[in-house]
């Protein structure tokens, strides 16, 4: 009698139908602010699966990804569900250690069309393995203070038309209102190098691992030149992102424009600068650039203990429209799920942006965003170039020389 | 011999004290300035921990205590998911177990080097001292790989306390003290009475070396409590294992799209620092003499 | 240190447990260190040396290392490599924090020892406080002070009409800002070290000098300094070894990239990033050995400078 009951239970478990009673602890490793979205969704999950406890580990952003990188590399200390930010997902897709969600039992291919297309490509390795489900995206967008631009008599569309016009308008704004154009000249550089990539190109390397950085790269020369122009004209406030100065600038309106992900609107509204309601507007990035600014994915390590429940959890976070909306409401995480983007909340005007129907704009921008090819030496290249950019901006180093130096350094490291 | 730096002056030195009070004004001013600068960051962390988050960064800055202590505690519980007490306990656990094991193994080895004569003693002791010359940094990468691939200890507190249980500094400190403070006759007498070697250590030696145990104990405690890089590399990042420095790093390390609750962070800063202040104020003499004792060799 | 005394080697006697445990007890007592060292010291050390000559990422799996000879070292020593920049940063921050530490600690210790001896316990305690404090916690406090538009430092500067300083934003300023924190943490430590050195100097020497009519300055210059040489050597060595491995303060203040333009990227941080972010374990190991050599060379230089022209050793 007992035996047959055990057998029935085992069968049920194998079939994955009646996992109602087993006690499971699922480890989920995440970073801020994704952890906050998970916490917001957890009550709904617990209602559905009271037997599955979620053990949420959250570390500082870079620490989380470093920890996951080494954990994957060494196969130790892996969670059941791993959150990955978009800047890392390509790198993880090229490495080993994460489950290929294309294959059984996940068979995620059926879900791919449900998501904003570039996220799927971003999470797919060059060998075709699909390693992570997208949960939120950060459609890159151009925030500006309407009141400041009006005061300076600047047309936002002019700023959008070209980088040269953007800078020219910035001079006008500075002169007429005293406000800075942008928080830091580096953000102009960072945007220019990420937009208008040729198909199949990464930011720093192409598909054949050829280094794209150098004094002959028009993209990098232009990015640095524009950043330098911004700095030399005194148009940037020299403020780093995620600093208290940054928040303060938003509150006081001392910076007129900001390139960021759509989620910044949520942050501005909720805590960064709630009092500036109605003063902000958004539009697409300059020169028809489309870029993603943040975004998160969930993956399952091959050595995870509870792959089945991990998959259930991921499906609940990514495919469930309710979860996606909850995350959006929690911290403005823009859904990767297209169905959630079509929720009626997304065609409503955004009060904070003066009644602009901004989410439609973001949805369209997301649809036009291209995946960016990645390379395992991206982090090396990024750090070296940031250093050279600082040399250009702060020490007046010649741009061609800086790029030549960067090229030499990156080439040596990318063995 | 060991140093006892915080000694009171010998009686004979009083004679040269016939200075005019005004000459001492600049001296006192200088000293008070130095003390002020040493203490002011501590003062400020307490002030900030008592103000609402939005007021940690205000102009002009707050210089006196506020009334948001309880609110910041709640804020801290919120941003740590209620894990702050657990993190405190994790740090305390690692610090205490490090202290106890270090005291045991170092005093045992120090006793052996001080009181026994055995073949190879000199060479072994010199070797131990020699290991102090290796910068810990060289070991970071390979010890991570050992912990990770061989022992599978990554993510577990023991990755932090086991490697340092018997450390060169502790053994050196113990040897110095025991060889100067313990008469060999005492050991011989116990041996004559039929005590085993370990019995002698436990019943005769341990009770007599309490002062140096206190010294090494607080030094070890402070070091283990403050260990950040180790916890970072060994990934004590799960709720069950996260220590206070790592938690501080998570909350105060920047680059997060969350409403940074500075009041709560300052509360955690204070919570991290308070045990150190308590230990230090209770045993500053031991800490100071312990940490500076490397300076004077016999 | 270890002349063998004949007491423990009595003439042959039949085997007994008592004699056995007496004989082997010391080996047993010291063995934990050697066991731990073998696992957590010697093996890692050799492995690190091995890795330094290989190209290896843990992604390749254990065993799949590629021998590259001195390539990792050549890479690090290449003229434009980040390692040089990090070494330069490390040295610069070390000088900026280290030299003032000793220039302040020595007079402070002298004043406490000679003029405020009654209060030296209290002063030692207060000045020592920063040293035992948690680096992460204190870095958060300093980051708050350094805040460009909202920090107390620029507020105070503003009161006397100074423009706001970008403490952690201007690459030229970053080394000073980091060094200030390091200075703050270690100046009391050095003061206490020097204080313990001063206490070891016999009062008789000063009495004799007073009789000979020496002034305070002369006594400091001709008696205190020479007699304090061993302690200075020790304190300098610790400062060198510690500064060269500086990690926690800049890591917390500036994050892993080392802040604006990597101006605060120390070698320890660069090695950490290379190993745990970029997973280039060979290159990281090679750099850690180069840093070891740099520490060794500087310690030797220190040793040379102190042992040159005598002193009263």
At the top level of CATH, the class of A24-137+294-338 is alpha beta
φ and ψ at residue A277, rounded to 5 degrees: -55, 130
Kindly report which listed range (A102-111, B42-51, B144-153, C205-214) carries the lowest average pLDDT score: C205-214
Model confidence at C39: pLDDT above 70: yes
Residue B92 lies in a domain: yes
B13 confidence band (pLDDT: 50, 70, 90): very low
CB A147 within 8 A of CB A135: no
Domain with CATH 3.40.190.10 in chain A: 24-137+294-338, 139-292+371-413
Cβ contact C279–A74 (<8 Å): no
Give one DSSP letter per residue of A235-253, joined into a string: -B----TTSHHHHHHHHHT
**Which residue numbers in chain A have pLDDT < 50?**
1-19
Tell me the average pLDDT of chain A. 88
Q: Could you give all domains of chain C from N- to C-terminal order, each with its CATH number?
A: 74-307 (1.10.3720.10)
Range of B290's domain? 84-244+275-295
pLDDT at res. C1: 41
Asked, for residue B79, whether it belongs to a domain, the answer is no
Per-residue pLDDT reduced to its tens digit, C177-213: 999 999 999 999 899 889 888 888 888 888 888 888 8
| Residue labelled with tokens 């423009």 | C163
Q: Is residue B68 part of a domain?
A: no
Domain-embedded: residue B270: no
Is A242's CB within 8 Å of B145's CB? no
The answer to whether the CB atoms of C171 and A66 lie below 8 A apart is no
Burial of residue B227 (number of CB atoms within 10 Å: 0-12, 13-18, 19+)? buried
Output the domain CATH number for residue B141: 1.10.3720.10
| Nearest residue in C to A383, CA atom | C257
pLDDT band at B218 (very low <50, low <70, confident <90, very high): confident
**pLDDT tens for each residue of A216-239:** 999 999 999 999 999 999 999 988
Predicted model pTM: 0.85
Q: From the CA of A147, how many Å to the nearest CA of chain B? A: 25
The token pair at B31 is 């000293």
ipTM over 0.90: no
Which of the four pLDDT bands, split at 50, 70 and 90, describes residue B261?
Answer: confident
C140 touches chain B (CB under 8 A): yes
**Is residue B157 in a domain?**
yes
Distance (Å) from the alpha carbon of B61 to chain C's nearest alpha carbon? 6
Segment C17-39 mean pLDDT: 87
In angstroms, what separates the C-alpha of B206 from chain C's closest C-alpha?
14
The string of pLDDT tens digits covering residues C225-240 is: 888 888 888 889 889 9
Residue B259's pLDDT is what?
Answer: 64
Fold of A139-292+371-413: D-Maltodextrin-Binding Protein; domain 2 (3.40.190)
Residue of A98 and C60 predicted with greater confidence: A98
Q: What is the pLDDT of residue B293?
A: 66
Decide if B34 is inside a domain.
no
Asked whether the beta carbons of residue C75 and residue A413 sit closer than 8 angstroms, the reply is yes
Please indicate if any CB of chain C lies within 8 Å of the CB of B221: no
Q: What are phi and psi of B112, to 5 degrees?
A: -60, -45
- Beta carbons of C261 and A62 less than 8 Å apart: no
- Is the residue at B192 inside a domain? yes
The answer to whether A394 contacts C277, with C-beta atoms less than 8 Å apart, is no
pLDDT tens string A353-389: 999 999 999 999 988 888 888 887 888 898 899 989 9
Number of domains in chain B: 1
Distances (CA, A) of C98 to B41, C41, C180, C232, C291: 20, 29, 10, 12, 18
- Nearest chain B alpha carbon to C284: B141
Q: Does some domain include residue B29? A: no
Alpha carbon of A324: minimum distance to chain B alpha carbons (Å): 17
Q: What per-residue confidence (pLDDT) applies to C255?
A: 81
The predicted structure's pLDDT at residue A15:
46
Residues from chain B contacting residue C192 (CB–CB below 8 Å): 5, 288, 292
């Amino acid at each position: 009698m007992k035996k047959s009951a055990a057998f029935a239970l085992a069968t049920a478990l194998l079939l994955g139908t009646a996992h109602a009673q087993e006690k499971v602890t699922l480890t989920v490793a995440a970073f801020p602010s994704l952890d906050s979205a998970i916490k917001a969704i957890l009550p709904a999950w617990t209602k559905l699966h009271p037997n599955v406890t979620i053990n949420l580990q959250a570390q500082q952003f870079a620490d989380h990804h470093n920890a996951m990188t080494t954990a994957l590399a060494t196969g130790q200390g892996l969670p059941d569900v791993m959150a990955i930010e978009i800047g890392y997902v390509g790198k993880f897709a090229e490495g080993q250690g994460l489950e290929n969600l294309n294959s059984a039992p996940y068979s995620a291919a059926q879900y791919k069309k449900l998501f904003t297309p570039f996220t799927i490509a971003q999470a797919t390795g060059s060998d075709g393995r699909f390693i992570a489900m997208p949960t939120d995206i950060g459609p890159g967008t151009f925030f500006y203070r309407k009141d400041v631009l009006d005061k300076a008599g600047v047309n936002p569309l002019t700023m959008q038309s070209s980088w040269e016009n953007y800078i020219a308008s910035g001079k006008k704004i500075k002169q007429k209102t005293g406000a800075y154009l942008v928080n830091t000249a580096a953000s102009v550089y960072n945007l220019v190098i990420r937009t208008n990539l040729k198909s199949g190109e990464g930011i720093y390397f192409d598909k054949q691992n050829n280094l794209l950085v150098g004094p002959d790269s028009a993209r990098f020369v232009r990015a640095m030149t524009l950043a330098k122009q911004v700095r030399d004209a005194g148009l940037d406030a020299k403020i780093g992102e995620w600093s208290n100065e940054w928040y303060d600038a938003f509150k006081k309106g001392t910076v007129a424009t900001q390139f960021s992900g759509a989620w910044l609107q949520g942050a501005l509204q909720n805590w960064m600068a709630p009092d500036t309601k109605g003063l902000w507007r958004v539009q697409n990035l300059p020169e028809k650039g489309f870029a993603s600014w943040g975004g998160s994915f969930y993956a399952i390590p091959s050595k995870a203990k509870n792959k089945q429940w991990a998959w259930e959890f991921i499906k609940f976070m990514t495919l469930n429209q309710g979860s996606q909306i909850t995350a959006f409401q929690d911290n403005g995480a823009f859904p990767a799920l297209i169905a959630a983007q079509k929720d009626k909340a997304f065609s409503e005007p955004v009060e904070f942006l003066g009644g602009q129907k901004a989410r439609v704009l973001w949805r369209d921008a997301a649809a036009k965003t291209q995946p960016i090819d990645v390379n395992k030496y991206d982090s090396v290249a990024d750090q070296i170039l940031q250093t050279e950019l600082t040399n250009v901006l702060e020490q007046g180093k010649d741009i061609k020389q800086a790029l030549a130096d960067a090229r030499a350094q990156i080439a040596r490291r990318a063995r | 011999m060991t140093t006892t730096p915080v000694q009171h002056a010998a009686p004979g030195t009083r004679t040269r004290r016939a200075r005019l009070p005004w000459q001492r004004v600049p001296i006192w001013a200088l000293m008070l300035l130095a003390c002020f600068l040493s203490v002011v960051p501590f003062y400020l962390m307490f002030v900030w921990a008592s103000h609402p988050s939005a007021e940690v960064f205000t102009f002009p800055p707050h210089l006196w205590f506020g009334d948001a202590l309880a609110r910041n505690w709640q804020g801290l519980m919120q941003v740590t998911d209620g894990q702050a007490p657990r993190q405190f306990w994790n740090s305390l656990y690692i610090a205490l177990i490090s202290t106890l094991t270090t005291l045991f193994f170092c005093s045992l080895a120090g006793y052996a080097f001080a009181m026994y004569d055995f073949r190879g003693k000199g060479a072994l002791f010199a070797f131990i001292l020699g290991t102090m010359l290796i910068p810990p940094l060289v070991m970071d990468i390979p010890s991570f790989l050992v912990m990770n691939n061989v022992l599978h200890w990554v993510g577990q507190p023991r990755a932090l306390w086991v490697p340092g249980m018997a450390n060169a500094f502790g053994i050196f400190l113990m040897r110095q003290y025991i060889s100067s403070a313990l008469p060999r006759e005492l050991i011989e007498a116990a041996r004559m009475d039929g005590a085993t070697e370990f019995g002698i250590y436990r019943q005769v030696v341990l009770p007599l070396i309490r002062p140096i145990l206190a010294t090494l104990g607080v030094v070890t405690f402070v070091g283990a409590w403050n260990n950040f890089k180790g916890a970072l590399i060994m990934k004590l990042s799960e709720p069950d294992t996260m220590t206070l420095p790592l938690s501080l790093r998570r909350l105060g390390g920047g680059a997060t799209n969350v409403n940074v609750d500075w009041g709560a962070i300052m509360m955690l800063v204070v919570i991290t620092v308070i045990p150190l202040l308590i230990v230090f104020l209770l045993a500053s003499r031991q800490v100071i003499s312990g940490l500076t004792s490397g300076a004077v060799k016999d | 240190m270890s002349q063998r005394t004949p007491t423990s080697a009595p003439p042959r006697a039949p085997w007994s447990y008592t004699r056995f445990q007496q004989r082997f007890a010391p080996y047993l007592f010291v063995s934990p260190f050697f066991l731990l060292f073998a696992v957590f010291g010697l093996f890692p050390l050799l492995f690190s040396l091995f890795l330094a000559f290989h190209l290896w990422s843990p992604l390749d799996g254990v065993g799949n290392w590629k021998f590259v000879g001195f390539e990792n070292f050549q890479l690090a020593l290449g003229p434009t490599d980040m390692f040089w920049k990090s070494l330069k940063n490390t040295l610069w921050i070390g000088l900026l924090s280290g030299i003032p530490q000793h220039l302040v600690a020595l007079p402070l210790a002298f004043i406490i020892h000679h003029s405020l001896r009654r209060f030296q316990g209290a002063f030692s305690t207060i000045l020592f406080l920063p040293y035992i404090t948690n680096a992460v916690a204190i870095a958060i406090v300093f980051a708050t002070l350094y805040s460009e538009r909202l920090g107390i430092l620029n507020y105070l500067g503003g009161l006397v009409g100074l423009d706001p300083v970008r403490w952690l934003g201007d690459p030229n300023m970053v080394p000073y800002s980091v060094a200030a924190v390091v200075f703050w943490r270690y100046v009391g430590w050095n003061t206490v070290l020097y204080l313990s050195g001063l206490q070891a100097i016999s009062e008789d020497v000063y009495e004799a000098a007073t009789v000979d009519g020496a002034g305070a300055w002369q006594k400091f210059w001709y008696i205190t300094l020479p007699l304090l040489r061993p302690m200075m050597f020790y304190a300098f060595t610790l400062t060198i070894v510690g500064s060269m491995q500086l990690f926690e303060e800049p890591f917390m203040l500036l994050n892993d990239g080392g802040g604006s333009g990597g101006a605060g990227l120390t070698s320890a941080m660069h090695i950490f990033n290379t190993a745990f972010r970029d997973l280039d374990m060979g290159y990281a190991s090679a750099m850690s050995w180069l840093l070891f050599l740099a520490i060794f060379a500087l310690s030797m230089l220190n040793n040379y400078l102190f042992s040159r022209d005598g002193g009263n050793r």
